[in-house]
Amino acid sequence: MRSAWIGALAIGAVGAGAHFGPGVVALGPLRMRLWPRLCGIGQKGSVALSFDDGPHPESTPKILKALDRLGLRATFFMLGSLVDAYASLAEEVAAAGHEVASHGYLHRSHLLRSAREVEADLRAAQEAIHLATGIAPRWHRPPYGALGGATIWGARRVGVDVVLWSVWGRDWRAEATPESIYADLERGLVGGATLLLHDTDATSAPGSWRATLGCLEALAAGLQARGLTTLTLSEHLGRAA
């Protein structure tokens, strides 16, 4: 685990000089080769499907319904502020057999916040999710993937593990379509991958979640063709509770 923390700090140093937005630490193959656990690289016969930025009553229930119909399991990285607003929906996600995780309380880059601010944000998210679901999340994904020293310090203080992703669908964009999202995912759709999508448009282009929803059918078919199953992140990384 020590090497993961050191790697994360190194990524944060690189990210600090990068453009502040999605992809701040998207160093691709180098990142995955040096710090596979941080990138969510897990069991070869599975993938971890993850959703950020929820929950929201307009979109999350539709995502849940599609996942159930397609037999897909996922890990939802929730914003504490939205969990406070829609606590029963957060509970519904957990009750459906999906894993709940933390995306922080507010969707603000950790590279722009002090270590104590990040710790307070993570702690508030933990409390909101635990109160709503009865579950204390074990995973945290920083907003924008903007991981720095404050993230590592705050996560250790709060008692969560930081994880990013290995492939994303770039579904936050206004121009994203179900076809473009799947094409982006397909490039890294291999055993061991952690996939990043969004179940709301809380920090994305308005209505972008509809393209994400439309992509799930093709994603399920692609996974089936490759003989891959979806697991929660904890199961995927071999750290199931």
DSSP 89-125: HHHHHHHTT-EEEE--SS---GGGS-HHHHHHHHHHH
Distance CA 73, CA 236 (A): 11
Q: What is the spatial distance between Cα 3 and Cα 29, in angstroms, rounded to a whole number?
A: 17
Identify whether the C-beta of residue 108 lies closer than 8 Å to the C-beta of residue 143: yes
Of the residues 52, 53, 121, 171, only one is catalytic, namely: 52
- Please indicate whether residue 52 is annotated as part of the active site: yes
- Please say if 110 is a catalytic residue: no
Q: Which helix (H) or strand (E) holds 186?
A: helix 178-186
Please state, in angstroms and rounded to a whole number, the distance separating the CA atoms of residues 66 and 220.
10
Residue of 98, 103, 110, 198 with catalytic role? 198
In a 10 Å sphere around its CB, with 0-12 CB exposed, 13-18 middle and 19+ buried, how is residue 54 labelled?
A: buried
Cα separation, 73 vs 50, in Å, equals: 9
Which sequence positions are flagged as catalytic? Answer: 52, 198
